[in-house]
Structure 1
Amino acid sequence: MNPRQRRGVLFLLAAAALAVAVFVAVSSYVSQVESQVGPKITVYQVTQPVDPYSPLGASNVEAIEVPRRWAAPTAITSLRELEGRRVGFQLATGTIVTSDMLIPSTDLDPTEREIAINVDSVTGVAGRVRPGDRVDIVAVFSEVPGLPKQVRVLVRNVRIVSIGGRQTVPDDTADTAGETQDIVPVTLALKPKDSLAVTYAGAFAEEVRLVALPGDVGTNRSQEVDEYDAGDLGGKAIPEEAQ
């Protein structure tokens, strides 16, 4: 074998060794990336802004694949879990939907109805109530024709079903146009007759307030008063003149 042939063989061996080294390096890199990324799963993200309490479904969510290790443990992985479900706050486009965003499905018994009322930081007990808590609902009547100006307990021992996210809405009671107020929708489980009373108060009472109760409230609350007006302060409760 002459020198030229020997050099050719050496070049071939060097090229083969380099190819093997490159293959090993690429394989190692791919394996490392796969070990970091891992298998993928299907999750769902919203395709457009979703308003609070709007139903989710195929029209506003889409399936995407993400590495399992990057997905939240509570991420929704089935469209069936999302169909018709709602969230209590605004979702931006691209938000991945998780189970803790969804309003719990109703667990009402046949004698209960759900109704939502808006409260603020004062009427909602400064955010201290949670789903499952029990509250009294109190209304302040001051400008309803035929009714005395009074505070009245509408319903006692009401179960809170869910609490929505904080929203900013126009303040209709403000003297200056353009002012806003922060509200929080609270969903309550009520008997049908009580739901009418709360709806009436929400429309005509000056204020509807939640009153938080201790966790060990007994069944005997007969000593508590249901109404309070000027007569309890030594004055005279005079009904407003009918208009």
Structure 2
Amino acid sequence: MNPRQRRGVLFLLAAAALSLAVFFAVSNYVKDVDSQVGPRITVYEVAKPVDAYSPLGASNLHAIEVPRRWAARTAVTSLRELEGRRVSFPLATGTVVTSDMLIPSTDLSPTEREIAINVNSVTGVAGRVRPGDRVDIVAVFADVPGLPKQARVLVRDVRIVSIGGQQTITVDDEGSVANTKDVVPVTLALEPEDALSVTYAAAFAQEVRLVALPGDVGTNRSREVDEFDASDLGGKAIPEEAQ
């Protein structure tokens, strides 16, 4: 093989190697583009602002298609899974709904009822409780006519169903300038009679607190007191005069 032939063979080999490199580069590019534009899946985004605890459905959601690569792993892909479900915090227009935004479905017994009360970082045990935990509910009565100023255990061993995100609410102080405060809604599973007492306390008591319980709390709590007032400190518990 003369020098000219050898150069020809080398050029052919170089051309073949370059062709292979171009082929693999184009293949990778096409694969990357395909992963961005397809396959696509259907997800649901908020069509108009949704307030906390408002039900989701066709009226406030619409379907969009996005590349599977860019969809969140928790994105909900079926409208049936979203119909009637609620979220515990407001959603802005354009928010893609994911499963971790949804309030868990109820698992109440036939005799239980759900109610929600607002707590803060102090009355809610500073974020130390989670859904499924058990708590006592204590109310502090100080300004209710006809009742002594006292702290009273309303219900023992209550199951927490869910805990919402922090919200800012406006509070009117008897005609004065409105103030705002940060609260966290906590949903509780209660028997109907207990639900009424907690609802009353949430409306009229000075404060309603959650008291966290140890995980291995026993059933015998007979020695725990249910009420505490001035008489327990050696004073006299005087009911507020009726107005």
**TM-score if structure 1 supplies the norm length?**
0.86
**1:146 maps to which residue?**
146
Alignment of 1:92 with 2:92, yes or no, is: yes
The within-5 A match list for 1:3-152 is 29-152=29-152
Number of aligned residue pairs: 222
Contact 2:35-2:67 within 8 A present in 1 as well: no
Q: Which runs of 5+ in 2 are unaligned?
A: 1-21
**1:226 maps to which residue?**
226
Per-residue deviation, 1:73: 1.2
Letter in 1 for 2:83: E
Cα distance between partner residues in 2 of 1:174 and 1:168: 19
Per-residue deviation, 1:145: 1.5
Percent identity, please.
Answer: 80
Alignment of 1:157 with 2:174, yes or no, is: no
Alignment of 1:196 with 2:196, yes or no, is: yes
Cα distance between partner residues in 1 of 2:130 and 2:175: 33
Change (3 A) 1:218 1:35: same
Change (3 A) 1:67 1:143: same
Letter in 1 for 2:42: T
Cα distance between partner residues in 2 of 1:117 and 1:178: 21
**1:6 maps to which residue?**
none
Per-residue deviation, 1:172: 2.7
Cα distance between partner residues in 2 of 1:24 and 1:122: 62
Report SS of the residue matched to 1:69: helix
Cα distance between partner residues in 2 of 1:88 and 1:163: 8
Change (3 A) 1:24 1:124: closer
Letter in 2 for 1:161: V
Cα distance between partner residues in 1 of 2:215 and 2:176: 41
Cα distance between partner residues in 2 of 1:192 and 1:221: 22
**TM-score if structure 2 supplies the norm length?**
0.86
**2:16 maps to which residue?**
none
Q: Tell me the C-alpha RMSD between the 2 structures.
A: 2.1
Q: Which runs of 5+ in 1 are unaligned?
A: 1-21
